[in-house]
Each structure stands twice: as structure tokens, then as C-alpha cells.
Amino acid sequence: MTRIAIYPGSFDPPTRGHEDLIRRSLLLTDRLIVAVAVNVAKQPLFSVEERLAMLRAAIGDDARVEFVAFEGLLAEFARQQGASVVIRGLRAVSDFEYEFQMALMNRQLHPALETVFLVPALDLTYLSSSLVREVARFGGEVSALVHPVVAEALRARFAK
């Protein structure tokens, strides 16, 4: 039986932390669906297509990984995709409450769907897309925090 996992998120933009989580996830699953959420409450910096393209560039070709956009409930999307596992990264205690709530709500909506939390590499635990956006917005150096394709996209976006 092929085990399918979903790694959902906003990825606005993808960071080295997301890349790390994707590589770690591949140790646990046969197929990984990296799922970019279309309808997040906040206005994203990058379009879904841009975020998907950046993820593809950062991860490269791997037959086990698929990059897709999804709209609506994650639990429903997981059901449609035949996924049995949701992967989320847990960076700090501050992540815990929201992640715990989300995992329990997803279980309420789809009891067979398990959430697995992965711990990122220590040197990436302080990293978040929102911090990367803020640093880049004010011209700070982000090249150590994101793939070069993402760094270039941020430069271009904030050069305007």
C-alpha cells in the first residue's frame, strides 16, 4: 500500500525551513503532496502559481513529491487525495496551541487522518515566512534563509 502524506501551508514564500520539512517528510512517506492553500485570511505577497513555482525550483525533480494548490478544507482535500497523514512543522512552544487545535479539528472532520509533527533543523527553528517577508521588505539580507529563486522573487517584489 502506498502511503500518501500532505504537507499543507501558505508557503508565502517558501523558506529553507519548509525545504527541510519536505526532505524530512520523505523519510516517512512514499508520496508527498505539498499543498499550497489558496484561501488564507491574509492577503498573500505571492500568488499561488508563484508559490508553487518557487517550491518546485527549491525542491527540484523528485518523483515522490507533487506540488498542488488547494481550496477549502484541508480535511476534505486529504480525503480526495487518499492521504492518511498531514505533516506540520513544530518550531517552538508558540506554535503548539494553534497546531494542536488544527490537528484536533482536522481529526473531528476526518477521523482517519493523522497529524504528524516534525521538528525542523535547529538552525532553522527561528525562521518563518512572515519574518522573511518583513526582512526582505526593508531590504535586509535573506539569502541564507531562502532558495536563491525565492530571494530573487522577493528582491523583485520589493524593488517596485
Residue 10 or 25: the one with the smaller Cβ distance to ligand PNS is 10
- Burial environment of residue 117 by CB neighbours within 10 A (0 to 12, 13 to 18, 19 or more): middle
Q: Which cell goes with 52?
A: 508553487
The answer to whether the beta carbons of residues 37 and 10 sit under 8 Å apart is yes
Residue 25 dihedral angles phi and psi, to the nearest 5°: -60, -35
Binding span for ligand PNS by CB under 6 A among 8-16, 49-57, 119-127, 141-149: 8-16
28 in contact with ligand PNS (CB under 6 A) = no
Strand 31-37 versus strand 65-70 pairing type: parallel
Least distance (Å) between residue 159 CB and ligand PNS? 25
Residue span binding ligand PNS (CB under 6 A) among the ranges 61-69, 101-109, 135-143, 148-156: 101-109
Tell me how far apart the terminal alpha carbons of the chain are, to the nearest angstrom: 50
Q: Choose the catalytic residue: 79, 91, 107, 157.
A: 91
| CB of residue 50 to ligand PNS, shortest distance in Å | 15
Contact status: 15 vs ligand PNS (CB under 6 A):
no
